[in-house]
Chain A
Amino acid sequence: MTLDILYFAWLRERVGQPRERIETEAATIRDLVAELAVRDEWHAAAFADMSAVRCAVDQQLADLDTQLAGSREVAFFPPMTGG
């Protein structure tokens, strides 16, 4: 499946780009992170501490066990600081 991966805040800075399009067979977010983290040293740095990473699938908050089947967009970001 084709997925658009989006990065925000310091994850975007560590990865070095705001978005990328990938081909993946990952079943869950956890599988996807495992794939992305070994792409290069920048991705590895971004995903080094998963306790500091939040995610959304198709613009809905998700967690590591969220299934990816049928999804189009996955975003990774730090804990949100709105308000």
Chain B
Amino acid sequence: MNARVQSAPFDLAAEMRGFGEGAGAVVTFCGIVRDDSGRMTALEIEHYPGMTERALNDYGQEAAGRFDLTDWRIIHRYGHLAVGEQIMMVATAARHRRAAFDAADYLMDWLKSRAPFWKREIAHDGSGEWVEAKTSDEEALARW
């Protein structure tokens, strides 16, 4: 039951070793840097040190109570991430699959628009452009 913010890569398989022991269901989600425009080489992710860790832990604990999780883990990276690199992961463990799926979905919706990260797309020529928040992400939060 913890959240981590780091610039270093993480190893999903290693993170899952021993995770949620005794649970009936474990769900993992891993976000990967993708290039939608065809001109992007990397993302630069800025965050708010201090608040980020606090927010991720708050959302994890909230999800644990709401979905009766037996374990959860959030890792979110910051800094320079090339296309294809893992950005973040969420893992949830519960007695049954529905709670584990729902909790992972819930956490992703919160992380998308309520965790203090800001993405900037870096193009082949080195120029950067801030990613704008999507209204669909905001709407997704209203589901909960």
| Residues in chain A within 8 A of chain B (CB atoms) | 6, 8-10, 56, 59-61, 75, 77-83
Contacts and interface: CB of A to CB of B under 8 A. Distances in A.
7 contacts: A6-B48, A8-B46, A80-B117, A81-B113, A82-B111, A83-B87, A83-B88
Contact of B113 (A56, A75, A79): A79
A81 B116 CA distance: 8
B131 interface: yes
Contact of A56 (B46, B87, B116, B118): B116
Interface in B75-92: 76, 87-88
Nearest to B114: A80
Given A8-B116, A9-B46, A83-B88, A78 B111 contact: no
A77 B55 CA distance: 15
B16 interface: no
A8 B55 CA distance: 16
Interface of B: 31, 46, 48, 50-51, 54-55, 76, 87-88, 108, 111-120, 130-133, 137-138
3 interchain residue pairs of minimum CB distance? A79-B133, A82-B117, A59-B51
Contacts of B137: 83
